[in-house]
Structure 1
Amino acid sequence: MLNGNWIDKKTGANTFEDREYFLQLVEDLRVRGQERPGVVLENGGVMGGNRRLAALITLFGEQSEPKFQRFEGFIVPGNMDAVDRWRLEMSAQIGATRLTRDYKAVNRLAKIKQGVELLEAKAGSTEDAAIKGVAVDWGTKPENIRTELLTYSAMLQWLEFTGYPGELWRADKLTEIFTEIPGIFDAARKIGMPLADQSRLKRIVFSLISNKAADYRLLRAIRNAIGSGKKGVNGTPTAINLLLSAAPNVDALTTPPTHETEDAAEELADRFRADVESKKAQRTPLVLAQTAETNLESLGNLILKLQIPADKKTAIIQSIQNCSKLAAEALSRLKG
């Protein structure tokens, strides 16, 4: 599996993208030998260094040289608890060196979730304390860990909704997309979107992802189209309603995508974008007028507070007169 040749013929899951890396690792070990020990459990299971072990097995099969016959590793004491094992694995991963591959994005999220659960399970620990502990171990801020957990939760929901619970490999290259989803659902809750519509929104978003019609830009546009505050200020309700009306039922989500469903999803995404852009263009004149009004109001307040040099006054007066002229022209065009 680790050599990049494995494929599950039933699901299509494979390790082909690992092939080039594995071959580089084999050649590196052929020349240098094993420079960095792995981490091994007392029962013989390899906790850290599986790829190095696979590469050594490959080399010994090719050359039968003694230096490839043994895998060097630290043996973890049997009395080490789960949290300490997790921390040991994290320290080994964070301290990765040349040709030591980092976790795939989805595996990284799973490890963060695992760490939070392990720390939270300790007596007297809360989720907040567990998140802070993982943040320290991972070398980041607690809010970043919370964001990662929300992203991971969105992935799990998508897999559950689409009939592939737990098959994280399907989300491996979609992490950037899933980082946008928590914001969508949070915005929907904040504007008081009815629960039935929130459910439809979730289904259509998951459907767009499954049918390869969603990227992070589209999802961010959906988030913005929902708007903010209880009234969905600056939102685009017509565009959101367009999506809600196309939401599939739960059973349809578990049906594998086809060329027809992918084309339909892409068409829906295009219609959504067009509606958003249309409404944005319609709002632009009002936004510009309101901005001009705000700027002039701020200018008036500043003039009362500041001592303005004479030469600056002349320039400001000229600019205000120009604004007055432009405002009159705009009013004339607007009226008719």
Structure 2
Amino acid sequence: MNPVLDQERANFLAARVTTASKQLLPQWMRPEKELPVVNVPTDWVRFSTLNHRTRAEQMKETKTKGVYDLFSADPLGTAAQQAQFSILVSQEGFEDLKNDLRARGQQEPAVVTAEGVLINGNRRSAGLRSLWLKENLPSARYVRAYVLPSDATADEVIDLETELQVAKDYREDYSWVNEALLIEEIFIASKKDWDRVAQRMRLKPEKVRAQYEKLQQLHQLVALSNGTRYHADFVGNESAFEELSKHIKDKASDEAASVRGVYFIGTLAGVNYRDLRHLRRKDATSFVKGELASDPTLAQLLTVVASEPADSSDDFLDDVLGADAEEPEDLTAVLSFLAQRTPDEIVTLPDGATVPVEDLLNSVRSAVTAAAKEASEEAKDAQAVIAPIVRLSEALDEITRAGTALPKARAQSGWDEDKFKKLVEEVKTATGNLESM
């Protein structure tokens, strides 16, 4: 928190606090958990530019506009506030939130700093502001909010936001990307103490580590796009990143590189993560390369990317995918080429035809899906080859166990010797039938 308050705003809020009643805010860190609750104009409060629920969207906005201090240079200024408002109103479910506010009004108080910056309730306040400014809805003119003490520290604020985030009523506001970014921030601030992170997030250590590891894979894919793709673009791909991070965790570098490259290009192209599962194998790259080469358009794309001059991103790709991975060259080149281009960009092929990158991605999606199907069929064939031996081995184990248990069973009063002998004869018959096949 800035130790120097915006005194005019602080005075405005302080005047309202003097006559305000107090309510309990259990998540507040300090022993004194009762805070004043006031009503302030919805167009007066300021959205938090440190809002972890919108971190990924902010990262995208700064890069898109090329203003990297958009949310930090003047957080309470017009540019930052308008950009944050635009992010909030564009989030999924915002119209449903407005409809609920229109019908029921504000149910829970928001939380603001001593100068009126929202720590919690940003989306609800944005909904109220939209209803007031666009529809002149009287019930949306004010937002009700707890007011934090003027000496609240940054650490206390992050802890409060985290406590509210893990509460059932608030957790749904977080995407997996923003939750993982918060975990990463706490991890770094806590000197890489996983127990501390887990404690603050109210999650098990393995859960916060899993979120962190998924994010590291996403960091790599975003970085190799060289500014074309953003973290917020992959909110809907959580399952793919989760399965990828779990699979490669304990794998040799060549298999990890192969699977990572396939998952990255498959995710870019929109391949269903359930299909990508079949390519969690060391030779995944070979399957995909074969399908790419068999498609006439993609075969020409391979020629185009092979002629692209090497740049500094190649070194990064080697770090990500592994310089010594099994035959990674063609897939690495295609991945780099597609990741660094927008869907509407036009590519000229060797035969003179022009094709949008979006069409190429559609073709890649079909190719990767076909590769996944081929890998799945091969896996089934491999299982079919060894199935009789596996089943016989299991049967032998069971017969051995039956022999071990036989003396004790025969000593019991309910033992059926005739049934036992009949089953032994049936096993002999079955074995004979196998030998004659």
Say yes or no: TM over 0.5.
yes
Identify the range of structure 1 (149-158 vs 34-43) with the bigger mean alpha-carbon deviation.
Answer: 34-43
1:200-279 to 2 correspondence within 5 Å?
Answer: 201-213=259-271, 215-223=272-280, 225-226=281-282, 237=283, 239-243=284-288, 244=327, 246-249=330-333, 251-252=336-337, 253-256=339-342, 257-279=357-379
The answer on whether the counterparts of 1:83 and 1:119 sit within 8 Å (CA) in structure 2 is no
Please report how far the alpha carbon of residue 305 of structure 1 lies from its aligned counterpart in structure 2 after TM superposition. 3.8
Q: What's the counterpart of residue 435 of structure 2?
A: 328
| 1:29 counterpart letter in structure 2 | L
Within the candidate set 378, 383, 386, 1:286 is matched to 386
The answer to whether the Cα contact below 8 Å between 1:204 and 1:248 also exists between their aligned partners in 2 is: no
| Counterpart among 201, 210, 229 of residue 147 in structure 1 | 210
Cα displacement (A) at 1:161 = 1.5
CA-to-partner distance for each residue in 1:116-148, whole Å, 9 max, x for gaps? 22333xxxxxx2xx3223323433321111111
What stretches of structure 2 of length at least 5 have no aligned partner?
Answer: 1-46, 48-59, 66-85, 289-326, 343-356, 410-414
**TM-score (structure 2 length as normaliser):** 0.58
Question: Hey, what's the Cα distance between the residues in 2 that align with 1:202 and 1:28?
Answer: 42
Matches within 5 A, 1:101-120: 101-120=172-191
Q: What SS does the corresponding residue of 1:269 show, helix, strand or coil? A: helix
State the match for 1:304 in structure 2: 404
RMSD: 3.4
* Alignment-derived partner of residue 176 in structure 1: 239
d(CA) in 1 for partners of 2:256 and 2:124?
A: 47
Structure 1 unaligned spans of 5+: 2-6, 121-126, 227-236, 331-336
Structure 2 contact 109–145 (Cα < 8 Å) conserved: yes
SS of equivalent residue, structure 2 residue 332: coil
Matched residue SS, 2:270 = coil
- What SS does the corresponding residue of 1:258 show, helix, strand or coil? helix
Structure-2 separation of matches of 1:134 and 1:277: 43
Distance, in Å, in 2 between the alignment partners of 1:15 and 1:315 is 74
1:224-277 C-alpha deviation (Å, 9 max, x unpaired): x33xxxxxxxxxx4x553345651326413233431243134224313431441
Name the aligned partner's letter for residue 255 of structure 1.
Answer: R
Rounded to whole Å, the distance in 2 between the matches of 1:152 and 1:317 is 58
Q: What corresponds to 2:43 in structure 1? A: none
Task: Pick the aligned partner of 2:426 from 319, 325, 334.
Answer: 319
- Structure with higher RCO (Cα < 8 A, 6+ apart): 2
The question of 1:50 aligning with 2:142 is answered no
How far does residue 178 in structure 1 lie from its aligned partner after superposition?
0.8
Matched, 1:33 2:105: yes
Q: Is the 8 A contact 1:181 1:219 kept in 2?
A: no
Secondary structure of 2:203 counterpart: coil
What's the TM-score once normalised by structure 1's chain length? 0.74
Q: 1 CA distance for matches of 2:107 and 2:424? A: 74
The code of the aligned residue for 2:434 comes to: A
Which letter maps to 1:316? Answer: L
CA contact under 8 A between 2:266 and 2:276: conserved in structure 1? no
Secondary structure at the aligned position of 1:43 is classed as: coil
- Contact 1:39 1:76 survives alignment (8 Å): yes
Cα pair distance change 1:87/1:306, threshold 3 Å: farther
In structure 1, C-alpha distance between the alignment counterparts of 2:152 and 2:241, rounded to whole Å:
35
Local SS of the residue matching 1:73: strand
Q: C-alpha displacement at 1:53, in angstroms?
A: 1.3
| More divergent stretch after superposition (243-252 vs 81-90) | 243-252
Partner SS for 1:72: strand
Give me the whole-angstrom Cα distance separating, in 2, the residues matched to 1:101 and 1:182. 23
From the superposition, tell whether residues 109 and 315 of structure 1 become closer, same or farther in structure 2 (CA, over 3 Å).
farther
